Amino acid sequence: MKILFVTSEAHPLVKTGGLGDVAGALPDALAAEGLDVRMMIPGYPAALERAERLTDGPDLGDPLGFGRTRLISARMPGGVPLWLVDCPILFDRPGGPYNDASRADWPDNHRRFATLSWAAAYLGKVGDGKAWLPAVVHANDWQTGLAPVYLKQWRGPGPGSLITIHNILFQGRFPRAILEEVGLGPDLFDIDGVEFHGAVSFLKGGLRFADRINTVSPTYAREIQTPEMGAGLDGLLRHRKAALSGILNGADYAIWDPARNPNLIRNYDAETVAEGKAACKRDLQMRMDLAPRPEAPLFGVVSRISDQKGLDLVLAVADRLVEAGGQLVVLGSGEAAEEAEFRRLAEARQGSVAVQIGYDEPLAHRIQAAADALLVPSRFEPCGLTQLYAMRFGTLPVARRTGGLADTVIDAREPNGTGFLFDTASAVGLWTALERVFALHADATAWQAVRQRAMRQDFGWTRAARAYRDLYRKTIETAN
Ligand code: ADP
Ligand code: GLC
């Protein structure tokens, strides 16, 4: 089965969050299941630099009038074949994949991601000129939402299309005026097309025209069909219910394994977790100017800072957490006002709270190893990966019962518990869970049992890859 997996980020080429992790791991796992999967990603400078074995691929001419576009054929560092969409005027610039250094969205994002979507649809329709023609184009999030739209517009035989929703809040909405610019006709500006509240929505287009839709956990697949959590697209999703499913993401244990992680001062497994984590905690306390207190429960946060992640709740309970004898270490970046509040907190609580604003991959691993518990108080969470990494690192997740968090963490009150869940998105809700963390942590034997159980959970990608293989089959059936 030939699959074209198209994405706007993929670890280790470019990553801003969980989509990068998924795109860096799922294609490998699909290949291991015998699928012929190839990827497509924009030719950002970092991607051109980090991809391997670059050679010329098909020349696409100037498809939408934004500039000369070629495909460069390459390999992911892990070996999966890859096409880089090389259009320097759109992609060759410093800054992030979606925004500039001052965090403003690139003003031409509609052109950039229409071009990515167009290139994927084109390859899906006509192949690479060397007899490689995918049976399914697998789009991910709004940046690739127009791929299913182009495919349905170009009549005649073509591949099936699947779109995965990693986060329904990001929809890629642009003014009406861009519709013709991205090569779509005015007839699509309709409730049955790409129109959404008077604007053009790339995600809506994908959800409307893809043969199949899925999201990254079974619970989130149900939640996005409700007005509370569907971000305006719940009606469409209820309408397309028969085509919608949820597949839980996996964790890439080649990267997220404390027994071989190169970022840790001491490697450990479930047998050696107590000594291993004690060493990692000492190391992190030193690096981050926290008091060297081995017995203090250390709470970690590794997160984007946005309303979704509910970190205002962490700010609201931080004083109590410190007064109860805990320590807090935060690594995150995002909304400037909340970043500033975390900085002020660290200033006021020196020795007990350490905050690093920014993106730091090695530090993310060190925190996962050093902390006793990881705070994930998300308002919504399509899947969430940090709680999976935490469990493998013997760090108990404290998570809100929503989306993929509800599907992966078992509360310690259950006989097979692996973490702590709370329901109400409020300071009281989180604090009530934290009281249970302090109580369990005081009982070393009980804590060790839960921690070892968490470490032995298997959220590897194989299960998810098999579920995607079945979903690709259904996608092909639906398309024909
Ligand atoms: P989301 O995709 O919504 O941000 P996930 O839990 O799915 O949430 O994935 C987040 C990924 O990004 C994880 O790999 C996590 O370690 C990483 N991450 C988040 N914030 C940072 C940061 N400030 N520095 C380094 N890694 C981060
Ligand atoms: C999104 C979601 C996150 C999910 C990730 C990968 O960024 O916010 O919950 O884990 O995508 O699917």
Secondary structure (DSSP) of 12-61: TTB-SSHHHHHHHHHHHHHHHTT-EEEEEEE--HHHHHHSEEEEEEEE--
Task: Write the burial class of residue 433 (CB in 10 Å: 0-12 exposed, 13-18 middle, 19+ buried).
Answer: buried
Report which of 356, 397, 399, 368 is spatially closest to residue 277, judged by C-alpha positions: 368
> Residue with the nearest Cα to atom 11 of ligand 2?
166
Residue 233 shares a structural domain with residue 282: no
**Of 422, 104, 53, 385, residue with least CA distance to 250:** 385
Ligand nearest the Cα atom of residue 405: 2
Angle formed by the axes of helices 311-323 and 336-348, nearest 10°: 10
Structural domain harbouring 103: 2-250+461-479
pLDDT score at 480? 87
Give the closest residue to 290 by CA, choosing from 359, 367, 361, 358. 367
Ligand 1 center–CA 360 separation, angstroms = 10
Task: Check if the beta carbon of residue 217 is closer than 8 Å to that of residue 249.
Answer: yes
- Could you tell me the distance, in angstroms and rounded to a whole number, from the CA of residue 94 to the centre of ligand 1? 21
Residues 288 and 436 in one domain: yes
Q: Is residue 393 part of a domain?
A: yes
Is 280 in the same domain as 228? Answer: no
Domain check: are 219 and 290 in the same one?
Answer: no
Summarised one tens digit per residue, pLDDT across range 202-250 is: 999 999 999 999 999 999 999 999 999 999 999 999 999 999 999 999 9
Average pLDDT value for residue range 182-193: 96
Q: Is 17 in contact with 97 (CB distance < 8 Å)? A: no
Separation between Cα atoms, residue 244 and residue 207, nearest integer Å: 10
Q: At what angle do helices 427-441 and 311-323 cross, to 10 degrees?
A: 40
Q: List the structure tokens of 100.
A: 């500039």
Structure-derived torsion over alpha carbons of residues 226, 232, 233, 238, reported in degrees to the nearest 10: 30
Instruction: Check whether residue 328 and residue 186 sit in a common domain.
Output: no
Of 5, 98, 164, 166, best ligand 2 pocket probe by most atoms within 8 Å of the beta carbon: 166
Residues 321 and 182 in one domain: no
Give the number of other CB atoms < 10 A from CB of residue 351.
Answer: 14
DSSP-assigned letter for residue 453? H
* Structural domain contains residue 31: yes
Q: Which residues line ligand 2 (CB under 6 A)?
A: 17-19, 22, 166-167, 216, 249, 381-385, 404
Give the mean pLDDT of 131-154.
98
Question: pLDDT tens digits, residue range 383-423?
Answer: 999 999 999 999 999 999 999 999 999 999 999 999 999 99
Mapped onto helix, strand or coil, the DSSP state of residue 94 is: coil
281-311 pLDDT, tens digit each = 999 999 999 999 999 999 999 999 999 999 9
- Alpha carbon 403 to chain centroid distance? 13
Tokens coding 455: 């470490």
| Token pair listed for 28 | 């490998």
Q: Is residue 394 part of a domain?
A: yes
Distance CA 297, CA 279 (A): 14
Q: Are 420 and 467 in the same domain?
A: no
Of all protein residues, the one whose alpha carbon is nearest to atom 10 of ligand 2 is 384
For residues 451 and 470, state if they share a domain: no
Q: What is the CATH number of the domain that holds 297?
A: 3.40.50.2000
pLDDT tens digits for 259-288? Answer: 999 999 999 999 999 999 999 999 999 999
- Do 125 and 208 lie in a common domain? yes
Beta strands 244-246 and 36-42 are unpaired
Q: Retrieve residue 452's tokens.
A: 């070892």
Q: Same domain for 469 and 450?
A: no
Q: Coil, strand or helix: which one is 428?
A: helix
Q: Are 172 and 196 in contact (CB under 8 A)?
A: no
Residues linked to residue 83 through DSSP beta bridges, in sequence order: 40, 73
Q: Taking the CA atoms of 334, 344, 402 and 302 in sequence, report the sign of the dihedral they define.
A: positive
Confidence of residue 86 (pLDDT cuts 50, 70, 90): very high
Closest CA to 22 of 379, 361, 384: 384
Question: Residue 264 falls within a domain, yes or no?
Answer: no
> E strands of 116-231, at which residues?
136-140, 160-165, 173-174, 195-196, 199-201, 212-215
Q: What stretch of H or E contains 83?
A: strand 81-86
pLDDT at residue 343 is higher than 90: yes
Ligand 1 centroid to residue 384 C-alpha, Å:
9
Kindly give the pairing relationship between strand 373-376 and strand 396-400: parallel
> What is residue 427's predicted lDDT score, i.e. its pLDDT?
98
The tokens describing 470, both together, are 């079945």
Mean of per-residue pLDDT scores for the chain: 97
**267 assigned to some structural domain:** no
Whole-Å CA distances, 237 to 215, 243, 315, 395, 406: 11, 9, 35, 36, 21
Confidence of residue 192 (pLDDT cuts 50, 70, 90): very high
Residue 347 burial (CB count, 10 A): 10
Nearest CA to ligand 2 atom 12: 166
Q: What is the mean pLDDT of the segment spanning 458-462?
A: 98
Structure confidence at residue 21 (pLDDT): 97
Residue 257 lies in a domain: no
Residue found under tokens 């020196």: 350
Considering the domain architecture, whether residues 470 and 450 belong to the same structural domain is answered as no
Within a domain: 108: yes
Q: Is residue 99 part of a domain?
A: yes
Query: What domain count does the chain have?
Result: 2
What's the one-letter identity of residue 197? H
Both 150 and 6 in a single domain?
yes
Let me know: does 314 contact 430? Beta carbons within 8 Å.
Answer: yes
How remote is the CA of residue 70 from the centroid of ligand 2, in Å? 30
Q: Rounded to whole angstroms, how far apart are CA atoms 452 and 450?
A: 6
Residues with CB under 6 A from ligand 1: 17-18, 21, 302-304, 331-333, 359-361, 364, 383-386
